[in-house]
Amino acid sequence: MSKKTPEIMHKQNTSARSKNFKEVALGYTEEQAINEANRCLKCKKPLCVEGCPVRVQIPEFIKLIEDRKYVEAAYKIKETNSLPAVCGRVCPQEDQCEKTCILSKKGDPIRIGYLERFAADELEKSGEKTEEIVPSKQGKVAVIGSGPAGLTCAVDLAKLGYPVKILEAFHDTGGVLRYGIPEFRLPKHIVKNEVEYIKKLGIEIELNCVVGATVSIEDLRNEGYRAFFIGVGAGTPRFMNIPGENLNGVYSANEFLTRVNLMKAYDFPNSATPIKRGNHVAVVGGGNVAMDSARSALRLGAEKVDIIYRRSRVEMPARIEEIENAEEEGIEFHLLTNPKRIIGNKDNWVTGIECYRMELGEPDDSGRRRPVVVHGSEFIIDLDTVIIAIGNDANPLLTNRIEGLELNKWGNIVADENGKTSVPGMYAGGDIVTGAATVIEAMGAGRNSANTIAKYLDGLSE
Amino acid sequence: MFTITNKEKLADKVYLFEVNAPRIAKKAEPGQFVIVRQAENSERIPLTIADFDRKNNSITLVVLETGYSTSQMAKLTTGNSFLDIAGPLGHPSEIPSGETVLMVAGGLGIAPVFPIARKLKNAGNKVISIIGARNKDLLFWQDRMGKVSDELLVATDDGSLGHKGFVTDLVVDKIKNKNIDRVFAIGPGVMMNAVARVVPEEIELTVSLNALMVDGTGMCGGCRVSVGGETKFTCVDGPEFNGHKVDFEEFLMRHKIYKNEEEHICKLGKDLS
């Protein structure tokens, strides 16, 4: 007999988890997974699939879970999504597959993400078997950036038989999965597994290669690469251009999270990279990166962590689940609040932040109501650390050094839905094209580009 | 892995490493830097490129043993390796021609100044170099600097070699007596700041900032510096900036962000595996 209400995802209790970096969501038990899979109506025309940027065969994989064929379920997902353990954890399912699920009309969609994660974790437990693919086609492809877009593009091309090399600027792979999303939301062993899988497929990876600096596109052409995929992410942090942003103790979210995640500063001094462990931290911004920063600061030992966001709660771009997690952990939200200046002492250390109260005015270009300053509403919060998480701009390091590459006014690469850019043989996808978006959207772009690149290369060899 | 093909002790606590890094050696230009991660649990630290040999696929790094990471590096020997090196990063130095250029190098700054001076000399500039340190045991590469300079002057704080006093004394003297078109000053922040105070605004002054960094590619913004009232990222906008416009006070204070952590990890003195 199938249940009406969804299975709950169990989490680490709040007092324990706010002091450790272990994963918060504990995953479904087998029984829970089967119960949840039982709720799926297996629609003939599944609306959930339409909500998925990479068209995962959702009813099919859920049926396999119901039949207790967990590993087969994971492989079913992998037919269209090469990173199910990642997507099961960080996709905003509530805005995608679960939003279009027929049951969401009654408010209780199938927890597709939790089931995806369950299947992927079962696959990891069983030990994934991969056979190396020997490239059968002509045309070497250079994939620049090893984040979700690049990884997906590389895997798809390798599966289609093309020789692929990934070039990564950092000393480790994964892009935002590695440096951005914290351990407590996406354990790094998962990223490591995915990369191992990719290596087994025969894909080459060159680390420490900053394309645009270490090698140029021209150099890569001379090395025999016939096509390029640029998936370098949206890498340069925005600041607010208010006084005090260069005070000691003010971080961009990129720096803060990179120190914590990639450089493991939470384990200082075992890891040599330091980070300031603030007592009272404020994070400016309302997206997932702001939540990740705030929750990381808490785990580093902060007594108090505040989120400062200029609009109201409904406009917050972060996933509801992450906002709830942050609230449960005791993070305080200052909504309709915006910094005026950051205050410091004579030694350049942060001591406070002065903010305005805001109110919502007419809708702006984004369709959200524009926040407007309430004059005379200034107030000061005493603190010792500020993390600015208001988004990223396109990093011009590579894009400015490619002749003929069309960029938009924000510096993002102009590419069509198939990843095609203004330079023949050059494709792009992910945040460097769209600006900040989601892991799964970047993966979708990587996939589309892989297919276009295959067609392009086949055209060359004909 | 980037293998160390040669290690030399250049001066007290100053070590030279020639490292096999084919891709970087091919691209490196004077003024640029690399990010080095010695081993699995190390920091990523920026080091300026002191030289490069395109034929032998090697770059030269010069390290002053000053904190935890650099003292760990000092223990490496020929045949050991650095786990990760990324670069060359930052803009190359702007090289004029037909000018009289004053090169001012303080301590470790001699290393990055050398390839710039050589390129300036080869481009047909008159190069006058001033190198300085606290004492003569901290100086190195007088021979190399001599070869690429029309005139080489030395200053030591204690007078153990050359002029007794600061490099700035010699800078003031040269600017007064020669037609200097441009000054490069590379060394400790305090020294660059002092040079900026004595070089008149009408003479172009270039300084190279050794800001704290993580990625070195414009992605973290940790290396923020105020130049002429604007915030710049040292890694991608620099590392060289107009020395007249750099807010040195802020720069020097930002350098101390991790002072306590540095003292703590140095005291533990744990070896990197």
Q: Do residues A229 and A419 make contact, with C-beta atoms less than 8 angstroms apart? A: yes
Residue B42 in any domain: the answer is yes
A259–chain B Cβ distance below 8 A for any pair: yes
| B257 contacts in chain A (CB < 8 Å) | 248-249, 276
Residue B66 in any domain: the answer is yes
Residue B261 in any domain: the answer is no
Task: pLDDT band for A82, please (50, 70, 90 cuts).
Answer: confident
Q: Do residues A298 and A329 make contact, with C-beta atoms less than 8 angstroms apart? A: yes
pLDDT digits (tens, 9 = 90+) for A28-60: 999 999 999 999 999 999 999 999 988 999 999
Question: Which chain B residue lies closest to A211 (C-alpha atoms)?
Answer: B87
Q: How far apart are CA B147 and CA B141, in angstroms?
A: 10
- Residue B197's pLDDT is 96
Does the beta-carbon distance from A268 to B261 stay under 8 Å? Answer: yes
What torsion, rounded to 10 degrees, do the Cα atoms B261, B263, B265, B271 define? Answer: 150
Residue B32 in any domain: the answer is yes
User: Which of B24, B214, B218 minimises the CB distance to A263?
Assistant: B214
Largest CA distance in chain A: 70
Among B96, B93, B117, which residue's Cα sits nearest to residue B105? B117
Task: pLDDT band for A129, please (50, 70, 90 cuts).
Answer: confident
Q: How far apart are CA A295 and CA A10, in angstroms?
A: 18
Does the beta-carbon distance from A169 to B224 stay under 8 Å? Answer: no
pLDDT at position A212 over 70:
yes
pLDDT at position A236 over 50:
yes
Q: Do residues B8 and B15 make contact, with C-beta atoms less than 8 angstroms apart? A: yes
Does the beta-carbon distance from A208 to B44 stay under 8 Å? Answer: no
| Residues 6 or more apart in contact with residue A77 via CB below 8 angstroms | A56, A57, A61, A84, A116, A119, A120
- Residue B272's pLDDT is 65
Q: How far apart are CA B266 and CA A154, in angstroms?
A: 42
Q: Give the position of tokens 């040599």.
A: A272
Q: Spell out where A153-303 has E strands.
A: 164-167, 204-206, 225-230, 236-237, 250-252, 280-284
Residues of B with CB under 8 A from a CB of A: 23-24, 27, 37, 41-44, 68-69, 72, 83-89, 214-215, 217-222, 224-226, 231, 233, 236, 250, 253-254, 256-258, 261-262, 264-265, 268, 270, 272
Say which CATH number the domain at B49 has: 2.40.30.10
φ, ψ dihedrals at A43, nearest 5°: -55, 140
The angle subtended at Cα A89 by Cα A85 and Cα A94, nearest 5°, is 130
**Residue A268 has which token pair?**
């200082």
pLDDT digits (tens, 9 = 90+) for B176-210: 988 999 999 999 999 999 999 999 999 999 999 99
Q: How far apart are CA A167 and CA A144, in angstroms?
A: 5
| A188 contacts in chain B (CB < 8 Å) | none
- Residue A462's pLDDT is 67
Residue B176 in any domain: the answer is no
pLDDT at position B37 over 50:
yes
Residue B27 in any domain: the answer is yes
- For A251, the 3-state DSSP assignment is strand
Q: Give the position of tokens 């918060």.
A: A24
pLDDT at position A322 over 90:
yes
Nearest-neighbour CA in chain B from A379: distance (Å): 26
User: Which of A171, A239, A269 minimises the CB distance to B231?
Assistant: A239
Amino acid identity for residue A317 in this structure? P
Per-position DSSP letters for A101-144, written without gaps between them: SGGGGGT----HHHHHHHHHHHHHHH----PPPPP-SS-EEEEE
Q: How many domains does chain B have?
A: 1
pLDDT at position A2 over 60:
no
Interface contacts (A, B; CB < 8 Å):
119
Question: Which chain A residue lies closest to B215 (C-alpha atoms)?
Answer: A170
Q: Do residues A128 and A197 make contact, with C-beta atoms less than 8 angstroms apart? A: yes
pTM: 0.95
Does the beta-carbon distance from B86 to A171 stay under 8 Å? Answer: yes
Average pLDDT of A129-157? 91
Does the beta-carbon distance from A236 to B221 stay under 8 Å? Answer: yes
**Residue A241 has which token pair?**
């251009």
Does the beta-carbon distance from B87 to A210 stay under 8 Å? Answer: yes
Q: Which residues pair with B48 in a beta bridge?
A: B33
Question: Residue A241 burial by CB count (10 A; 0-12/13-18/19+): exposed, middle or buried?
Answer: exposed
φ, ψ dihedrals at A9, nearest 5°: -85, 120
A171–chain B Cβ distance below 8 A for any pair: yes
Residue B235 in any domain: the answer is no
Task: pLDDT band for A1, please (50, 70, 90 cuts).
Answer: very low
Does the beta-carbon distance from A208 to B219 stay under 8 Å? Answer: no
Q: How far apart are CA A146 and CA A446, in angstroms?
A: 11
DSSP count for chain A of H helices, then E strands: 18, 16
Residue B9 in any domain: the answer is yes
Q: Which domain holds residue B13?
A: 2-89
- Residue B244's pLDDT is 98
